[in-house]
Structures are given as C-alpha cells and as structure tokens.
Amino acid sequence: MTTFKSLGLNTELLKAVEKLGFETPTEVQDKVIPILLEQNTDLVALAQTGTGKTAAFGFPMLQRIDAKQRTTQGLILAPTRELCLQITNEMGIYGQALKNINIVAIYGGANIQEQANKIRRGAQIVVATPGRLKDMIGRRLVDISAIQYCVLDEADEMLNMGFYEDIKDILTHTPKSKNSWLFSATMPPEVNTIAKKFMKKPIEITVGTKNSSAKNIDHQYFIVAARERYNALRAVVSMNTDLFGVVFCRTKIETQKVAEKLIQDGYKAAAIHGDLSQNQRDIVMQSFRKKRIQLLIATDVAARGIDVDDLTHVINYQLPDEIETYTHRSGRTGRAGKLGTSIIFVTKSDRRKIKLIENKLQTKLTELEMPSPEEVLTSKVIHWTDQVKNIPIKSDLHNHLPLAIKALEDISKETLIEMMLSKEFKNFDLHPKAIEFSRDDRSDRSSDRRSDRKINAPQDKDRFFINVGARDQYEWTTLKDFLRSFLKLGPDDVFQVEVMKNFSFFSTHKDHRDHVLKSFDNLIMDDRKVSVELTKKGKTFSPKKNFKKKKFK
C-alpha cells in the first residue's frame, strides 16, 4: 500500500500529514506527488474538487521551496477569493513544521497595501486571484520574475470567469524555466489551449474518468412546474431529515428569497452570495460548518470556496447554463469516500438538459416522483416522534413535574400530543394545497417558459454590448443581477449574459429596447461612462473596435 512516506515526502511534511490524520494518499496525490517531487516537468491533472488536489501540488511545492531565500518561488492562481484563502490556509497547515515559509494570499476586494506589505516581508509562495495579481504586478507590488513553480488551480473555472487574458498576461511576467502545474475538473477546449500554448510537454494525469462525475454521487431529478419549485424543495428537505447541503440558485436575489422562505418555514437556512461582506460570509460559513445551519443557499460564485466535506446533498434549485457548472456543483457532495446525492428540479421544458448532463457524465440520472402531501406529512410526523423519544430528561425539572401534571390532568394524552404537534408545525402550512405539486403541463406558465421562448425566438430578442466586463470584477451572474436590478426588470428578462475581459453582451426581449438604451444614458461607474449599444444583427460584431470608440477619457 502506498503511504505518504513512500511518495517521498520529507519528515516535516510527514508530521503535518500525521497531525491532519491523513491515512493514505488520495488517487491524485498518489499519482502526482512522486512526479512533482522527482521531475522538473509541466503537468496537467484532471481532478475534481474534493479529491485532495491542494495537497497534491501543495506538498511538492512546499518541499521544493528554498526557505532560506525570501524571493517568491511558487505562484498559485485560483479563480476566487474564497478558494485563494482556502488554499493559503491548507498550505499553511501542510507547511506548519517547515521553518520560515511564508505564504501570502492576494485577492480583490481587500486592502491592496496590506497585501503588498505582506509580500514585501518576503513570501516564498503567493496564492492569488488573477485580477488582483495583474494589478499588483502592474504597480510593481509583487515580483514573480523568479518563480520556479506555477500552479493554475481550477483552470476551467478561471477561464469560465473570463480570466484568459489576465492569465496570459501574468504568465509573460514569469520565467520560461518554471514548471507549470495545471489542475482542472474538466478539459474544455480553452484549458487545452492554455496547456498547449504555455506548457512544455506536460505529463497528463487523469483521476477517475475524464469529465465524468464522481461515482459515489447519486444524481436524481424531479420534474416540477417552475412555480412549484419552492414547494418541491421544501418537500425534499422534509423527507430527508438528516439532509445537510447546499441549494444552488442562479441569482443573489433568488438565494435570498429561498433562504427567507425556508427560515419562515422553520428550517435553519442562510444565503451566501457576492453582496455579503467577507466578514458576513465567514459568519455564515462558520455556522454552516458547525451545522447550526442545515441548508446553505448559494450562487455558483459564492460557493466556489465552500470546503465542507460531509454534505449529504447538493440541490440544483435551477440548473446552471453550463453543464461544467453542474459537475462543479455536484462534486461538492460525495467527498472523502462518502455517498452523496445531487438533486435537480427541472421543468418539463428543460428536460432536454437532463439528457445533456447524462451524456456529459455518462451516467443515468434517476427520475423521482415528488412525494404526495400525505407522504411529506407522514415523514415529518415520524421524524418528530423519533426526536421526542430521544429527548434527554433534565433531572432538575423533576421537582416541578407534579405541578405540570396537575395543571394538565384534564387533557387526554391524544389531545396533548395534538397540541404539541400543532406547536411543532406552527410555521408549516399543513393545508394539502400548500404542499401539492402540480404535474399538469398547463400550470407551467412561469418565468422558465417565458425565458425559453425568448431564447428560442431570436427575432424577439435584442443583443446588447456593454463596456464593462471581468476587469470590473463582473462575472455573468453578478452582471446579470446588476443589469436586472438597474433596469428594474424581472428575473428572466435579462439573459444570455456573456462577460469578456473589457466588455460584455446581454440579451433582452425587444420590447425593452428603448428602456435599456435610455437607462444607460448618463451612467458613470468608477469614473467611466458606461455605454450600451445594440449589436448589429447579421454582421459579426467587432467589440474591440466599438470598445475603443466608446472608451471614456
């Protein structure tokens, strides 16, 4: 059997392994660590999140770094602030027995000078998000010209978020002699391009099957009318009393709405999205980790850094646009050898997406029937009675028992139980209508169908160009939210949002054309005039040219 020792880790790192309680290397560690320790090579590793990939590149990097030198020798690029902090934290733990190793995280949304000061004190390893790193390189606050190791973590996600240009730019500041180690859950063509363009004969490692989801995840879906989504979610949560999971929504507003409804219905839920401050996020995450919160309602971006291993369920309140994103979502459960369930609520009109997922994952997804209202109630009552049977008796109440018994002596056991049940379910609407699921096609007149109509009818939609993009810290979900709230449009009225580095595109129904164009007339953001233009139909739109024309100053 392989051990961390036999992989070639030094005593200091083995101490960390022991302290962490890692018994055997995971598959990716087993395959990657010996290569990175022994060879000066580039490497591309296809591995899902939760497979132990941080240690797979972290251990070799820590072992190879020269702690006596203060120069930056290792660079790790990650898509989000959360992931960046998570990697820094893990690396800190792995390297705690090593002397004088300094690992610094740099990411947007925090004080740049403080980060620069930390770098100035000497950081052998820098963990960074691409936007902030590029900014700091430009201001000469960080020097990566002598790095020997460069990790691109979650490369597919970084490219999804529009960081291609930033990454390309960052790499031009690194020496040719470095070794690049790229980790990605999937291998879309963009990642392939990076590997081809910027890496030298990389060794390829695949953990599990390429592009397939982890085997220990049970993928299930329910067909529901869009307006019944929430009731369906509530039914699933009611039926799975030990559920501890993340519910994925597409927008911040949706996460908040769902969380509020769940809380109202008596569940321990909280929303996590980009509008929360770092401090608020930390508080939510801490409560979740400690299981004071049972359900975390998240957008994809906010969920990137969720490092909770024992999620029983991942719930897709809505399906993401990209199937890759579904892989990321579901990969958050079924970790560390445990079984996990990924649940999808899908409307009839979106059913074809299930096929696409099945093809991509090469796994059959199981269609489940929604439980009847009767079944939901029965399950809740059984759970409640189980809980009651296990309530520990508080001995110091013993003396007060006769008083309570006397006061309640006229009430029969049945009535008493009925009263307790009523108290327990006071927030839960027991009326069958409230938990009934319409499986009738005609009831599916909701926003989902509207948005589909738009997407399927290009003549009805307008496509706009806007001169804000990834460099303004937008990605498609946040830009969509911004546009929706700025334009005061409904949840599905802004769609097909595509974010590039310096500009973006979005679509609306053509009824909104004048409103959209007028709304941006005088909008100044960060000293720049925001301009929105209709793209020209039938012609290839040349954003570069237009952007130049529109550039402010």
Ranges within 280-319 binding ligand AMP (CB under 6 A): 307, 309
Q: Does 53 bind ligand AMP (CB under 6 A)?
A: yes
Distance separating alpha carbons of residues 116 and 143, to the nearest angstrom? 11
The contact mask relative to ligand AMP for 231-270 (x = CB under 6 A, - = no) is ----------------------------------------
510 to 476, 494, 539: CA distances (angstroms): 21, 11, 18
What is d(CA 120, CA 114) in angstroms, rounded to the nearest whole number? 10
Q: Rule CB under 6 A: is residue 50 a binding residue for ligand AMP?
A: yes
Contact call for residue 88 and ligand AMP (CB under 6 A): no
Judged by beta carbon, residue 307 or residue 492, the one nearer ligand AMP is 307
User: How far, in Å, CA of 360 to CA of 241, rounded?
Assistant: 31
Cβ proximity to ligand AMP, 28 vs 346, nearer residue: 28
Instruction: Put residue 117 in one of left, alpha, beta given phi > 0 → left and psi -120 to 50 → alpha.
Output: alpha
Q: DSSP per residue over 154-192, as a string?
A: THHHHHHTT-HHHHHHHHHTS-TTSEEEEEESS--HHHH
DSSP state of 513: H
Question: Contact between 95 and ligand AMP (CB under 6 A)?
Answer: no
Shortest Cβ 50–ligand AMP spacing (Å): 5
Choose the binding region for ligand AMP from 20-28, 71-79, 108-116, 212-220 (rule: CB under 6 A).
20-28
Q: Which residue type, as a one-letter code, is found at position 200?
A: K
The tokens 């908040």 sit on which residue? 256
DSSP codes joined into one string, 246-292: EEE-SSHHHHHHHHHHHHHTT--EEEE-TTS-HHHHHHHHHHHHTTS
Q: Is 202 in the site for ligand AMP (CB under 6 A)?
A: no
Closer to ligand AMP by Cβ: residue 25 or 74:
25
β-bridge pairing 103-106 and 125-128: parallel
Cβ-based nearer residue to ligand AMP, 90 or 169? 90
Q: Minimal distance in Å, beta carbon 80 to ligand AMP? A: 13
> Smallest distance from the beta carbon of 53 to ligand AMP, in angstroms?
5
Nearest approach, Cβ of 24 to ligand AMP (angstroms)? 6
Q: Quote the least distance from Cβ 276 to ligand AMP, whole Å.
A: 22
Stretch that binds ligand AMP, among 25-33, 117-125, 397-405, 436-444 (CB under 6 A): 25-33
Q: Would you say 395 and 403 are in contact if contact means Cβ atoms under 8 Å apart? A: no
Per CB under 6 A, 49 contacts ligand AMP: yes
Under the rule (CB under 6 A), what is the footprint of ligand AMP?
A: 22, 25-26, 29, 49-55, 307, 309, 336
